[in-house]
Amino acid sequence: MAHTCLQGVKYLMFVFNLLFWLGGCGILGVGIWLAVTQGNFATLSPSFPSLSAANLLIVTGTFVMVIGFVGCIGAIKENKCLLLSFFVMLLIVFLLELTVAILFFVYTDQIDTYAQQDLKKGLHLYGAEGNIGLTNAWSIIQTDFRCCGVSNYTDWFEVYNSTRVPDSCCLEFSESCGLHSPGTWWKAPCYETVKIWLQENLLAVGIFGLCTALVQILGLTFAMTMYCQVVKADTYCA
């Protein structure tokens, strides 16, 4: 009976981790693809130049693949060391995510203030040599969200040292339209506009986070259950 139970848990965990590993491959693939088109998905933060969507996906995908691989081998080989390693790694990831989520909700106001200040510093890199990624990212955000600047369009006045904005701020795009009067520019602040958009999609974000947490808890349960079954099996054999 114990052997049958062990075999059942073994194959369930193997399939689970195989899907986990394939998911990591997918995330890594998307990250590499974004890295090739880095100009459209670069970071907007001058304080964290490496914190781009591409780099985050590559690191996340690689880490998920490693965890999934360890789990697959640990399950199929019924190796206690690998099973425990998988459990510990997944537990660390889960606790880190939980900690980040708690800190985000506790320090929301401070994060808002810091983020706006940092984004305004980043505006000064707009159009600068070697910053095509940041330039394109701001252009896409201002065009798609119909906004201008971090807190308002006057943020750009400090960047250009004159009364002008990037052409992506214009209600109707045309060459050098950013030199025209403020009446031809978007008035909405980009930070608040994007923040409102995220709040409107909070349900989708919450469902994604909940599903991610459930998958991780399921993985932890499988790993610990199989580890205990392997220990019991070794005891019986002894």
- Residues 49-69: pLDDT tens digits? 667 777 888 888 898 899 989
pLDDT at 8: 73
Question: And the tokens for 142?
Answer: 């201002």
| Domain assignment present for 227 | yes
Amino acid at 167: D
**Based on the structure, what is the number of domains in the chain?**
1
| Domain assignment present for 175 | no
C-alpha closest to that of 83 among 234, 222, 193: 222
CA distance 51 to 206: 23
pLDDT at 190: 95
SS3 225: helix
| Domain assignment present for 164 | no
Beta bridge partners of 185: 170
Low-confidence ranges of the chain (pLDDT < 70): 1-6, 38-43, 47, 49-50, 234-238
| Domain assignment present for 171 | no
| Domain assignment present for 176 | no
The answer to whether 100 and 209 have CB atoms below 8 angstroms apart is no
Beta-carbon contacts of residue 19 (< 8 Å; ≥ 6 apart): none
pLDDT at 204: 83
pLDDT at 11: 81
| Domain assignment present for 128 | yes
| Domain assignment present for 5 | yes
pLDDT at 234: 66
Domain assignment of residue 136, given as a range: 1-147+188-237
| Domain assignment present for 159 | no
pLDDT at 153: 93
pLDDT at 148: 95
Q: CA 216 → CA 11, 77, 169, 203, distances in Å?
A: 17, 21, 42, 20
Which alpha helices (H) appear in the chain, and where do they start and end? 2-36, 53-77, 80-106, 108-123, 132-144, 155-160, 190-200, 202-237
Q: What is the pLDDT of residues 22-33, one digit of tens each?
A: 888 888 888 888
